[in-house]
Amino acid sequence: MTMIDTQVCSNVEDGNGLAIINSKAPFSSAYGKDALDIALIFGSFEQKVSLFFQGDGVYQLIDNQDGSLLSIKDYLKTFAAFEFYDIEDIYVCHQSLANRELDESFHIEGVNVLQSIEFSEALNQHAHILRF
């Protein structure tokens, strides 16, 4: 195997900010809430953070859900505060919605529905990525 010893990337080529990929449905685990906490702290430190929803993660955006019926503190309501935290880059994978027979009825404004290639390109603009 050959690997170039020099660092191929300069800071100029590096993207900026953090992307968080949400891949889990909202209620059976704490992954969504744990990811949200990270997003909000980055927002409050005025660091760029973008949210990506893929796979079952798209269920976190769907309208008319009610976690309180399950005695779960409904952290999805906090999504409404994204604007306050300057979290404006929110992307959802179109294919993931289509596979689940979901339309684009989200419980927050400003969600960008992207085809796989654009979704991948948007993700690619970031310096660091976490996935929950």
Partner 1 sequence: MTTLHLVRQSAFATNDFAQCLSVLAHQDAIVFMDDGCYNLKHSLLNSLIERIDNSLALYVIANHAKARAIETLVTINKVSMTEVVELTFNYNKVITWQ
Partner 2 sequence: MKTLAVVVTTPPYSHLTITALNYVEAALQAEVEVIGVFFYQDGVMHANQNISIASDEYQAIQHWQRLHQNYQLPLHICITAAEKRGIVCDALDNEKVNQAFTVSGLGELVELTTKASRLVQF
The Cα–Cα gap between 80 and 54 comes to: 19
Least distance to partner 1, CB of residue 9, Å: 5
d(CA 22, CA 59): 10
CB 31, CB 55: distance < 8 Å: no
Give SS3 for 114.
strand
Binding at 25: pick from partner 1, partner 2, none (beta carbon under 5-8 Å per type): none
Coil vs helix vs strand at 92: strand
**By the criterion CB under 8 A, which residues form the site for partner 1?**
1, 3-4, 7-9, 13-15, 21, 23, 54-55, 93, 95, 116, 119-120, 123-129, 131
Q: Find which of partner 2, partner 1, none residue 70 binds, CB within 5 to 8 Å per kind.
A: none
Q: Which of partner 2, partner 1, none does residue 12 bind to, with CB < 5 to 8 Å depending on kind?
A: none
